[in-house]
């Protein structure tokens, strides 16, 4: 082999091994989940003396879902005299009128509801939460994003965990109102199910750190303050505060059996925008806190798990590099002998793929019980969508590494709950970026690679090539088609520009 060929193969296998290690980590999550099943946090009854609770509802241009959110919060079973509700509205559109009118109606019904409108969005969501704490009267703070529906029993089943004075935060599990709306919402639901059931469940049961997800969670106010409060130097203020609080010694609890339904994005560009924010914010948090975590006196298993958690999104730029290297590596290896690909490439690909499949299948079994097998048909789409997101999320990772600032772009919500609900005529939409065109180019590149594999009877790697091909075609095609399929709405670009 020439030096260039050696370099290509060396980098190719290095990336494959790193991705396989990230895949192995998923097995560790499953192991921790079942190994410590006796530590599953159960719902607890209300304490004898009920504390005062503040519910914070951060909003930004949420005209379609604001009333639904407030209605559900007002239905929480808890004494009204002990429940303060803060509508923290940074909106620049009709949401302000909708929210203020809804607050006034509820105030007349006897609810302690405060409407707070900021014209300066300093700190975005973190800034709004921080601003709200100045007038919050609760010992505990329950937070819901606009796309959620508060379960009526959330305080009845969780507040009792705070009898332990070291418990700083309780996170409940998300469910998905519009899970069955489309293939995209099915895929997102499975991805989130795996995160909550196995990542949160495994980490919490195994005594590792896990994070508040920004919504559907309850904080002890003193834990927020002790950890340094809400900070807005990352796009994931929830992840940042979570690690700072746990480093301070606060314990978190994940209550899997209390479920808060939420609307997930029905539009690919909105989904990508959300994923970009989460990926970039996690790497920003990694840069900010991982050195402190590794230098702390925390046990080694906690440090190792934190490192895996905070570096997980590095897999996306590696995935893009792997895609580009697959074809030259295939040609080089084929000229050396096809059997070597079968001995090395295929096992590594299988290891990474099977880890993802088993991870998400276990989460579906835990949620759906005996009907989990009906979820099998979505696994290829789950795998492909994860691959298709790699361009979008790799961009986010690189931006975080070089310190490029970007605003907190909220995810558009349309109040889509059932199959017949239309969203295409509604005002908000995700922003089309350059990513779909790069994804389309990679899809075509994978098509050429697939043709080469068929022509040369390299069938062992063909299924993996087709997964990559479909993933990039799906991510690019849906982004472009949905963008073209939407009418240009008056005032829309003005709203998006502020995001």
Residues 6+ apart with CB under 8 A from 342: 460
Query: Among 38, 224, 27, which Cα is nearest to 141's?
Result: 224
Task: Give residues with Cβ within 8 angstroms of 467, minimum separation 6.
Answer: 353, 380, 383, 384, 387
CA-wise closest residue to 347 among 26, 24, 27, 28:
24
> b/e per residue, 465-485, with b = 16+ CB within 10 A?
bbbbbbbbbbbbbbbbebbee
Q: Which are the catalytic amino acids?
A: 90, 238
**Residue 415 contacts residue 68 (beta carbons within 8 Å):** yes
| DSSP codes of every residue in 321-390 | HHHHHHHHHHHHHHHH-HHHHHHHHHHHHHHHHHHHHHHHHHHHHHHHGGGGGGGGGGHHHHHHHHHHTH
Q: Which residues 6+ apart lie within 8 Å of 373 measured at CB?
A: none
How far apart CA 448 and CA 182 sit, in angstroms, is 29
Task: Give the H/E segment covering residue 223.
Answer: helix 221-226
What's the Cα-to-Cα distance from 395 to each of 276, 280, 391, 432, 433, rounded to whole Å? 8, 8, 6, 14, 11
Q: What is the DSSP letter of 40?
A: P
> Which phi and psi angles does 278 have, rounded to 5°?
-65, -40
Cβ atoms 450, 466 nearer than 8 A: yes
């Amino acid at each position: 082999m020439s030096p260039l060929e050696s370099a290509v193969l060396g980098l190719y296998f290095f990336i494959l091994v790193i991705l396989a290690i990230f895949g192995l980590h998923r097995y560790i999550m499953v192991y921790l989940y079942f190994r410590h099943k006796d530590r599953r946090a159960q719902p607890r009854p209300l304490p004898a003396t009920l504390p005062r609770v503040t519910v914070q509802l951060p909003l930004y241009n949420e005209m379609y879902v604001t009333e639904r959110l407030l209605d559900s919060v007002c239905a929480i079973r808890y004494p009204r005299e002990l429940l303060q509700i803060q509508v923290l509205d940074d909106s620049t559109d009709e949401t302000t009128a909708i929210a203020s009118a809804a607050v006034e109606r509820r105030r007349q019904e006897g609810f302690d509801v405060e409407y707070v409108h900021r014209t300066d969005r300093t700190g975005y969501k973190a800034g709004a939460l921080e601003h709200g704490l100045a007038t919050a009267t609760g010992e505990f703070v329950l937070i819901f994003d606009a796309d959620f529906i508060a379960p009526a029993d959330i305080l009845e089943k969780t507040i009792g965990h705070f009898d332990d004075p070291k418990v700083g935060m309780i996170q409940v599990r998300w469910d998905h109102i519009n899970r069955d709306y489309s293939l995209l919402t099915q895929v997102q639901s499975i991805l989130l199910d795996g995160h909550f059931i196995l990542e949160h469940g495994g980490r919490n049961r195994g005594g590792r750190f896990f994070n508040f997800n920004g919504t559907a969670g309850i904080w002890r106010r003193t834990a927020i303050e002790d950890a340094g409060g809400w900070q807005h130097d990352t796009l994931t203020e929830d992840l940042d505060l979570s690690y700072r609080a746990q480093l301070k010694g606060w314990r978190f609890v994940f209550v899997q059996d209390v479920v808060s339904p939420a609307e997930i994005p029905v539009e690919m560009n909105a989904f990508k925008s959300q994923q970009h924010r989460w990926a970039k914010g996690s790497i920003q948090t990694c840069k900010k806190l991982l050195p402190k975590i590794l230098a702390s006196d925390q046990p080694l298993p906690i440090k190792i798990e934190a490192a895996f958690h905070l570096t997980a999104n590095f897999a996306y730029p590696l995935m893009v590099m792997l895609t580009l290297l697959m074809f030259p590596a295939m040609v080089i290896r084929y000229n050396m002998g096809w059997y070597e690909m079968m001995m090395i490439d295929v096992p590594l690909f299988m290891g990474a793929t099977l880890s993802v499949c088993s991870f998400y299948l276990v989460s579906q079994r835990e949620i759906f019980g005996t009907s989990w097998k009906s979820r099998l048909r979505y696994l290829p789409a789950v795998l492909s969508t994860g691959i298709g997101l790699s361009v979008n999320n790799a961009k986010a990772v690189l931006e975080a590494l070089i310190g490029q600032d970007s605003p907190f772009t909220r995810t558009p919500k349309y109040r889509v709950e059932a199959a017949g609900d239309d969203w295409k005529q509604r005002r908000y939409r995700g922003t089309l970026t350059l990513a779909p065109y790069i994804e389309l180019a990679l899809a075509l590149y994978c098509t050429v690679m697939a043709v080469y594999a068929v022509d040369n009877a390299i069938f062992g790697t063909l299924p993996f090539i087709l997964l990559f091909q479909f993933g990039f075609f799906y991510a690019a095609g849906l982004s472009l088609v949905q963008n073209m399929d939407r009418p240009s709405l008056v005032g829309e670009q003005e709203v998006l520009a502020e995001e």
